[in-house]
């Protein structure tokens, strides 16, 4: 396009020189300048910037990282460039996840792993990031398209899968473990997992994976009424896992599971989602680059602009086995942790005089650390009940031995046997008598021809189908028929067909009209209107037939 | 369980409860759980048949028992409406309930998530959570899918969103 425009400009110039009439010059110049303007616009078309090898702190317009590197000069971050070594997994690229991904991309994160199975829809346009022209693309593809334009330095990996399915979960786990990006890293291949999903099942799946891999993660969520949200840091073993206490139970008294998911009737606002994504990424940066304090839980109530924070200890009775295992490891590692903390404290400040704060202690007051688990003797004394009273519920400490199932599980049943039984309920002959489908002949008489045809339609290998006076007795029940005329109508019909031939049910009533009106009876109006297509043209079952019957009676 | 009709309640009490808490990644324990699932499904199907209220077929479509496919149907105005039924056993099963899917109804009702997953959030998920791990697939069908069909199918039929298969064929032929 640019070349064409240049050609056009050259043509115009040569034309300008050979222009005979100078009065046209002005108009001609106008056209020329317009074309040049268009050419400028075309030249300004987005050009993808090339990758940057090192982050520079140089303050020039062309340096994408100058404002970020300035964090070092301001004394906030010690070494910002470390961010290029970090990998972040974002599960759920929706209202929060996509914005978080964009923020991290603009911050120059090393590697982003994106997981989602959904597609971009126009209904998503009330949130940030995705554009209407991306409707129909998978969210992961659309995100990669935009993010790689914004910052080509970021390594993007996208996974279009559902992590709650068995296959999806395995891929999810192995992608978190994969260390090809930074082989000498300890632990897993990612530094942090950000859960930005919109449903309980997916959160539980992320929780399961991170507990098993001992992977620190952030949970985030926005309420279905779009006016509050939260983020929560989950360090397996150290803080409560998602199964220990679902956060919204604490936050609002609503059980998390009663919340509806997006797509059914949940509301959403770009503002709330943007705020939550901002809080999430801010804490992510603090966690990765080691500045400030990382919030263990941060709520956001937009109606009152209230930001509650709190800390949650893991639940020793957590239903998630991996969480309990991590808790055990955390307690075991306590001495090492204490030593490290002490060493850090000593390194930071010269030893502070640890003399008594007050010289006299008239009331013998002593301070106990309430973070430490109390000694057994202490708990006993505080829990001691007056005689005659008992606790209704068992205490947490007595939980240790898991409840054994009351009834011994009958392991004699074979899985295949059970599966066969389930199928067998619906195929009695085959299962109970070992009859092959090819050897079965279905026989249906009268009204029974209905179910016979239904079964026949389900068994492709059937040998034969016999329909004996199909549907006739049904008619007889409704309209008494004299044996005389019945004899004419009844006719055993056999339809032996070769294997695998699909059996087409024939409209039984079409074969014969059960009753012909005798000549004396007039055909009633109903004959024409109703029964034309069912019984031919001769009779109907309305008043006309009554006439016929009376006529027959008279005759006999 | 308030608000459930006595019929469903009495049916529910007769479906055998499960005991093993194991998901598809738990190896031998999952096999035990799968056996319990089959037993309760067999009992439920037999009960339905003996009460002349047979309304679904479901079977595992892979040997691991993680994907299930089948049919379910609902009779309305003496016409039978039949739909494909499918679901995956989630990795976090039985902590989270299976998400029952009726792919043929995808996009036809608001009471559904993308991909034809029926909305179980309000009427069923809390029950499931309270009864984990004693509820299984049979309970999910009895308390999750059955009430959903009873609530949704009449509306879908009356509004013309779904047509009986006989009507559908005649309209395409003519």
Q: What is the DSSP string of A287-338?
A: HHHT-S---SEEEEETTTTB--B------TT-S-HHHHHHHHHHHHTHHHHH
Better pLDDT: A181 or A457: A181
Verify that A228 and A309 share a domain, yes or no: yes
Verify that A308 and A240 share a domain, yes or no: yes
The answer to whether residue B69 neighbours chain A at the CB level (below 8 Å) is no
Check if B142 is active-site. no
Confidence label for A486 from pLDDT (cuts 50, 70 and 90): very low
Better pLDDT: B171 or A147: A147
Q: What is the pLDDT of residue A507?
A: 45
| Residue A193 belongs to a domain | yes
Q: Which of A451-455, A539-543, B160-164 has the lowest mean pLDDT?
A: A539-543
Verify that A73 and A34 share a domain, yes or no: no
Interface touch A200/B96, C-beta < 8 Å: yes
Interface touch B125/A261, C-beta < 8 Å: no
| Residue A508 belongs to a domain | no
| Percentage of residues in chain A having pLDDT higher than 90 | 38
Q: Give how far A481 is from chain B: nearest CA, Å.
A: 27
The answer to whether residue A494 neighbours chain B at the CB level (below 8 Å) is no
Interface touch A165/B125, C-beta < 8 Å: no
- Which residues of chain B lie closer than 8 angstroms to A205, CB-CB? 90-92
Confidence label for A46 from pLDDT (cuts 50, 70 and 90): low
| Residue A231 belongs to a domain | yes
Say yes or no to pLDDT of A529 above 70: no
Of the residues A210, A241, A244, A265, only one is catalytic, namely A265
Nearest CB neighbour to A409, from listed B19, B24, B88? B19
Interface touch A418/B57, C-beta < 8 Å: no
| Percentage of residues in chain B having pLDDT higher than 90 | 52
Q: What is the pLDDT of residues B74-85, one digit of tens each?
A: 999 989 999 999
Instruction: Find out whether A58 and A73 touch, Cβ atoms under 8 Å.
Output: no
Say yes or no to pLDDT of A420 above 90: no
Q: What is the pLDDT of residues B25-62, one digit of tens each?
A: 998 999 999 999 999 999 999 999 888 889 999 999 89
Verify that A312 and A240 share a domain, yes or no: yes
Of the residues B72, B119, B132, B142, only one is catalytic, namely B119
Verify that A295 and A237 share a domain, yes or no: yes
Verify that A313 and A459 share a domain, yes or no: no
Q: What is the pLDDT of residue A531?
A: 39
Q: Last residue of some domain: A331, A364, A398?
A: A331
Distance from the first to the final alpha carbon of chain A: 99
- Which residues of chain B lie closer than 8 angstroms to A257, CB-CB? 121, 125-126, 129
Number of folded domains that form chain A: 3
Verify that A319 and A447 share a domain, yes or no: no
The answer to whether residue B24 neighbours chain A at the CB level (below 8 Å) is yes
Q: Is A111 exposed, middle or buried (0-12, 13-18, 19+ CB in 10 A)?
A: buried
Looking at mean pLDDT, say which of A322-331, A437-446, A506-515 comes out highest.
Answer: A322-331
Confidence label for A23 from pLDDT (cuts 50, 70 and 90): confident
Q: What is the pLDDT of residue A395?
A: 56
| Residue A413 belongs to a domain | no
Interface touch A423/B59, C-beta < 8 Å: yes
Verify that A150 and A280 share a domain, yes or no: yes
Helices (H) and strands (E) in chain B, counts: 6, 5
Q: Last residue of some domain: A313, A331, A349?
A: A331
> Global pTM?
0.70
Judged by DSSP in three states, A84 sits in: helix
Say yes or no to pLDDT of B21 above 70: yes
- Residue A304 structural domain: 66-331
CATH code for position A279: 3.40.50.720
Verify that A29 and A148 share a domain, yes or no: no
| Residue A489 belongs to a domain | no
**ipTM surpassing 0.90:** no
Say yes or no to pLDDT of A215 above 50: yes
Specify which residues B56 forms β-bridges with. B72
- pLDDT, mean of residues A473-483: 63
The answer to whether residue B173 neighbours chain A at the CB level (below 8 Å) is no
Say yes or no to pLDDT of A426 above 70: no
User: Where is A171: in which H helix or E strand?
Assistant: helix A166-177
Verify that A134 and A207 share a domain, yes or no: yes
Confidence label for A6 from pLDDT (cuts 50, 70 and 90): confident
């Amino acid at each position: 396009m640019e070349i064409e425009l240049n050609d056009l400009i050259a043509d115009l110039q040569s034309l300008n020189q050979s222009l005979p009439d100078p009065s046209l010059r002005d108009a001609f110049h106008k056209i020329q300048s317009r074309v040049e303007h268009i050419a400028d616009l075309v030249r300004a078309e987005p050009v993808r910037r090339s990758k940057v090898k090192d982050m520079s702190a140089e303050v020039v317009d062309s340096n994408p990282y100058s404002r970020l590197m300035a964090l070092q000069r301001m004394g906030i971050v010690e070494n910002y460039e470390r961010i290029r070594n970090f990998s972040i997994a974002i599960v759920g690229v929706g209202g929060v996840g996509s914005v978080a991904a964009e923020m991290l991309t603009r911050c120059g994160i090393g590697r982003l792993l994106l997981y989602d199975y959904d597609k971009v829809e126009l209904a998503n346009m009330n949130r940030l990031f995705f554009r209407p022209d991306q409707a129909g693309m998978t969210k992961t593809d659309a995100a990669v398209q935009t993010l790689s334009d914004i910052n080509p330095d970021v390594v993007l990996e996208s996974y279009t899968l559902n992590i709650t399915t068995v296959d999806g979960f395995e891929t999810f786990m192995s992608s978190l473990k994969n260390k090809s990006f930074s082989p000498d890293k300890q632990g897993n291949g990612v530094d942090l997992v950000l859960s930005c999903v919109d449903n309980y099942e997916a959160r539980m799946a992320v929780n399961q994976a991170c507990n098993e891999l001992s992977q620190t993660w952030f949970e985030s969520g926005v309420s279905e009424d779009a006016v509050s949200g939260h983020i929560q840091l989950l360090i397996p073993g150290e803080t409560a896992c998602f199964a220990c206490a679902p956060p919204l139970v604490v936050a609002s008294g609503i059980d998390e599971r009663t919340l509806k998911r997006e797509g059914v009737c949940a509301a959403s606002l770009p503002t709330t989602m943007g705020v939550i994504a901002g809080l999430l990424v801010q804490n992510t940066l603090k966690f990765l680059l080691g500045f400030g304090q990382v919030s263990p839980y941060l709520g956001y109530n937009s109606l009152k602009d209230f930001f509650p924070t709190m800390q949650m200890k893991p639940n020793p009775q957590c239903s998630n086995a991996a969480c309990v295992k991590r808790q055990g490891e955390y307690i075991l590692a306590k001495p090492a942790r204490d030593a490290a903390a002490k060493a850090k404290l000593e390194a930071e400040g010269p030893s502070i005089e640890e003399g008594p704060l007050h010289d006299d202690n008239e009331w013998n007051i002593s301070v106990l650390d309430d973070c430490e688990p109390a000694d057994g003797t202490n708990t006993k004394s505080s829990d001691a009940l007056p005689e005659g009273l008992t606790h209704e519920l068992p205490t947490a400490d007595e939980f240790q031995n898991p409840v054994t199932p009351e009834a011994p599980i009958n392991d004699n049943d074979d899985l295949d046997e059970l599966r066969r039984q389930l199928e067998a309920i619906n195929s009695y002959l085959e299962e109970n008598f070992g009859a092959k489908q090819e050897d079965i002949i279905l026989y249906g008489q009268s009204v029974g021809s209905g179910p016979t045809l239904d079964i026949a339609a389900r068994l492709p290998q059937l040998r034969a189908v016999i329909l004996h006076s199909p549907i006739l007795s049904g008619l007889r029940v409704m309209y008494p028929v004299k044996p005389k005329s019945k004899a004419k109508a009844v006719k055993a019909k056999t339809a032996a067909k070769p294997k695998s031939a699909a059996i087409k049910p024939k409209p039984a009533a079409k074969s014969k009209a059960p009753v012909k009106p005798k000549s004396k009876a007039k055909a009633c109006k109903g004959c024409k209107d109703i029964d034309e297509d069912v019984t031919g043209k001769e009779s109907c079952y309305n008043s006309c037939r009554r006439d016929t019957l009376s006529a027959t009676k008279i005759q006999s | 369980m308030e608000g459930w009709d006595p019929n469903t309640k009495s049916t529910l009490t007769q479906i055998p409860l499960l005991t093993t808490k194991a998901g598809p990644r738990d190896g031998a324990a999952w096999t035990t759980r799968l056996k319990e699932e089959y037993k309760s499904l067999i009992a439920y199907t037999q009960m339905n048949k003996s009460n002349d209220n047979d309304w679904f077929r479901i079977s595992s479509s892979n040997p691991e028992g993680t994907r299930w496919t089948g049919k379910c149907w609902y009779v309305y105005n003496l016409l039978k409406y039949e739909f494909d039924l499918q679901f995956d056993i989630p990795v976090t099963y039985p902590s989270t309930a299976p998400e029952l899917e009726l792919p043929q109804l995808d996009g036809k009702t608001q009471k559904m998530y993308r991909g034809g997953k029926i909305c179980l959030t309000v009427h069923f998920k809390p029950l499931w959570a309270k009864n984990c791990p004693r509820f299984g697939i049979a309970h999910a069908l009895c308390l999750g899918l059955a009430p959903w069909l009873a609530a949704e199918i009449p509306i879908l039929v009356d509004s013309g969103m779904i047509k009986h298969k006989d009507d559908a064929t005649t309209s395409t032929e003519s």
